[in-house]
């Protein structure tokens, strides 16, 4: 995998056996490590148990059941309260809520019967762990193999105990084996898949008890799920079985897990030997011995391992509709909620719109919110720690509106924003309807974003009022790279506090004094007081579970925003679901309608390393590639003064860095109405 590969790519190694020969000299129990350091480390690893299970040896009955010779194991299994396990001591997991079950289980395109029918000698016997003979852990505890002083003495150092050596990953391309053995001694025999985006792996791995010649050698078979490249940004999740005398003090075959987030340099460990892996099962001990085992020419046994990523990791709180954040706003203290709009604008178009495919949000797989509640994505401590300041959390950079005239990208604000849009101006607009193609663009660094949206705008500069909605990929805000539905708004800040109490002639005077333009008011989704949600089906900020594919199936979302003339509220509908509204009291100049409506893409360019960002806009392909390749925006309409949806007149299009991202109008006279293609890959030969 090339180190400069732009797209996130996981390497997946399946059904493998790995033999490792470590050529360093064996470090005996005479390590020069103080007993104090060892005792401190043991205290950190061995949490106070509710119950302990010691496995001395198998009884005669046990030997008959498992078909084994009587064999010592020697493990002590501590049944530790699930909330006291080592994982939760990690700084990033201090306030972590343990997820007791996954939100979904991946489904296979193959039936188990088709797979198992190929293995005639496969035995249906369940593989168990040796400690089960002497008992099981009670509910709300997890079994943890106790670490002993002897375990630490065998390690080369307390700091490296339970950690793999660096370069413990199979090199797949252009791998020069010259001098490998003297350096790290790792040898691999694997099958793998790469150059894609993967969210997990499953494999049945044959279980044996291989001979290990030296105590500081090991032999294992495992799955690797990898992200990043082979430099310091390598992330790895691993699971399988191993024989490792130095780690465990014996030659038993043992179940293991491993992880690292920095290419084995300082993070991660085996099993629960550091903070990280969160265990919820009370019957399986990581590092526990496995039985029975395969024997040459006789019965074969295997373990099935499945690793998968929870679709988005969100916690959705179903909050009583009257307790949502909107009503903390000073202007909405005595607000009477409007449960439905007084009207929905209708179109005067003669053609029939192409229907959008139904796209659900990920959290729907785990349940629904009851009536009279609204689904709100829970904000965590980690969310607040990612931005540079809490004041900027959930807010766009200043001047985050397309500046279609007198725009000099070499001057102005430190955060550089680039656009590829189409717009309508020089009129009065009371809403818009649009269909926006849904993709999952690559974003180079966490505090950049890529989005596609509609803007409803009045005012300009620091007196700007906007209402916005669309989808975005924004790692800093959401801690992932999933496309998510979002809403946004901003308005003059101090002015709106007294807006409701001023006569008309004073309003326009004070509007010039109190200015904002993305500085203090407004926010994404429900991260501040403002947007009032009425739907219990749609979560603003929620992730989508399906996206368009280059050259394949295309997905899009239909967005309608309009002003309710009776109440002054601006309503939002996505598809056929009415989501909620922005109260009219929030706005100044938008109270008289919008002066500009725009549609298209926006990205942040932080020029990391002094180069233009490689963050995608849309599909990451230029507009000229057209349908199924470039991202599109179709069926553009505006709401006019008669509350009718009409095709806009006097349209303009704009791309401020056309060698990086561009825009191209579509052909007229189709069911797509007014439409255009837009996007691009960012940095390229013509966009350095």
Q: Which residues are catalytic?
A: 468, 602
Query: CA 627 to CA 618: how far, in whole Å?
Result: 12
Query: CA 348 to CA 205: how far, in whole Å?
Result: 62
Pick from 273, 287, 276, 277: nearest CA to 45 = 273
Query: CA 305 to CA 213: how far, in whole Å?
Result: 27
Pick from 537, 536, 491, 534: nearest CA to 514 = 491
User: Is the CB of residue 366 less than 8 Å from the CB of residue 103?
Assistant: yes
DSSP structure string for 137-160: PPTTEEEEEPP-HHHHHHSS-TTT
Phi and psi, residue 300, nearest 5°: -115, 140
Q: Which SS3 state, helix, strand or coil, does residue 59 take?
A: coil
Pick from 643, 561, 337, 594: nearest CA to 464 = 594
DSSP structure string for 217-271: -EEEEEEEEEES-SSTT-EEEEEEEEE-HHHHSS---EEEEEEESSTTSSS--BT
Q: Which SS3 state, helix, strand or coil, does residue 278 take?
A: coil
If phi > 0 it is left, if psi is from -120 to 50 it is alpha, else beta; for residue 38 that is alpha
Phi and psi, residue 426, nearest 5°: 60, 45
CA 215, chain centre distance (Å): 40
In the beta sheet, which residues pair with residue 571?
A: 562, 581
Cis amide bond preceding 292, omega within 30: yes
């Amino acid at each position: 995998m090339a180190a400069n590969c732009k797209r996130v790519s996981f390497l997946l190694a399946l059904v493998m056996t790995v033999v490792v020969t470590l050529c360093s000299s064996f470090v005996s129990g005479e390590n020069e490590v103080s007993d104090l350091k060892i005792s401190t480390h043991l205290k950190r690893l061995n949490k106070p148990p509710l119950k302990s299970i010691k496995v001395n040896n198998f009884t005669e009955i046990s030997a008959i059941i498992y078909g084994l010779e009587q064999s010592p194991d020697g493990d002590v299994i501590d049944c530790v309260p699930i909330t006291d396990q080592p994982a939760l001591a990690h700084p990033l997991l201090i306030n972590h809520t343990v997820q007791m079950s996954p939100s979904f289980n991946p489904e296979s395109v193959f039936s188990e019967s088709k797979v198992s029918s190929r293995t005639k000698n496969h035995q249906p016997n369940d593989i168990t762990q040796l400690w089960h003979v002497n008992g099981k852990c009670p509910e709300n505890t997890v079994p943890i193999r106790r670490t002993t002083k002897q375990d630490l003495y065998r390690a080369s150092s307390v700091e490296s105990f339970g950690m793999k050596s660096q370069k413990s990953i199979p090199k797949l391309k252009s791998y020069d084996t010259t001098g490998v053995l003297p350096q790290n001694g790792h040898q691999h025999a694997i099958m793998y898949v790469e150059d894609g985006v993967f969210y997990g792996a499953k494999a049945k791995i044959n279980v044996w008890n291989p001979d290990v010649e030296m105590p500081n050698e090991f032999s294992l078979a495992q799955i690797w799920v990898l992200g990043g490249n082979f430099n310091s940004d390598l992330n790895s999740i691993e699971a399988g079985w191993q024989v490792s005398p130095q780690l465990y003090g014996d030659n038993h075959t043992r179940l293991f897990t491993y992880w690292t987030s920095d290419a084995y340099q300082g993070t991660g460990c085996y099993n629960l030997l550091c903070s990280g892996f969160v265990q919820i099962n009370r019957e399986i001990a990581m590092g526990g011995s496995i039985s029975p085992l395969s024997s040459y020419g006789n019965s074969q046994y295997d373990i099935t391992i499945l690793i998968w990523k929870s679709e988005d990791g969100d916690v959705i709180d179903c909050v009583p509709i009257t307790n949502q954040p909107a009503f903390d706003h000073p202007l909405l203290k005595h607000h009477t909620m409007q449960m439905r709009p007084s009207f929905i604008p209708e179109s005067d178009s003669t053609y029939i719109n192409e229907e959008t495919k139904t796209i659900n949000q990920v959290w729907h797989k785990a349940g629904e919110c009851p009536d009279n509640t609204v689904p709100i994505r829970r904000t965590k401590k980690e969310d607040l720690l990612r931005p540079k300041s809490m004041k900027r959390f959930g807010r766009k950079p200043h001047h985050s509106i397309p500046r279609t005239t007198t725009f000099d990208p070499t001057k102005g604000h430190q955060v550089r924003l680039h656009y590829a849009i189409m717009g309508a101006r020089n009129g009065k607009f009371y809403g818009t309807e649009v269909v926006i193609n849904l993709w999952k663009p690559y974003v180079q660094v966490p505090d950049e974003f890529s989005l596609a949206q509609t803007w409803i705008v009045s005012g300009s500069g620091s007196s700007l009022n906007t209402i916005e909605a669309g989808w975005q990929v924004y790692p800093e805000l959401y801690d992932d790279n999933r496309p998510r539905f979002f809403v946004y708004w901003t308005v003059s800040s101090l002015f709106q506090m007294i807006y409701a109490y001023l006569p008309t002639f004073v309003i326009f005077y004070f509007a010039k004094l109190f200015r904002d333009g993305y500085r203090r008011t407004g926010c994404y989704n429900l991260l501040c007081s403002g947007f009032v949600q009425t739907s219990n089906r749609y979560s603003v900020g929620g992730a989508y579970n399906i996206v368009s594919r280059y050259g394949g199936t295309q997905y899009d979302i239909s967005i309608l925003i309009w002003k309710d003339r009776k109440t002054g509220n601006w309503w939002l509908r996505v598809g056929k679901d009415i989501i909620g509204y922005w109260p009219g009291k929030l706005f100044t100049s938008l109270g008289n309608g919008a002066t500009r409506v725009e549609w298209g893409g926006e990205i942040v360019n932080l020029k990391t390393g002094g180069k233009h960002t490689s963050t995608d806009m849309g599909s990451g392909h230029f507009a000229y590639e057209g349908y199924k390749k470039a991202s599109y925006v179709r069926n553009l309409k505006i709401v006019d003064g008669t509350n009718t949806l009409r095709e806009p007149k006097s349209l303009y299009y704009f791309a401020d860095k056309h060698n990086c991202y561009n825009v191209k109008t579509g052909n007229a006279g189709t069911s797509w109405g007014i439409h255009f293609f837009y996007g691009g890959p960012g940095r390229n030969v013509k966009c350095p």
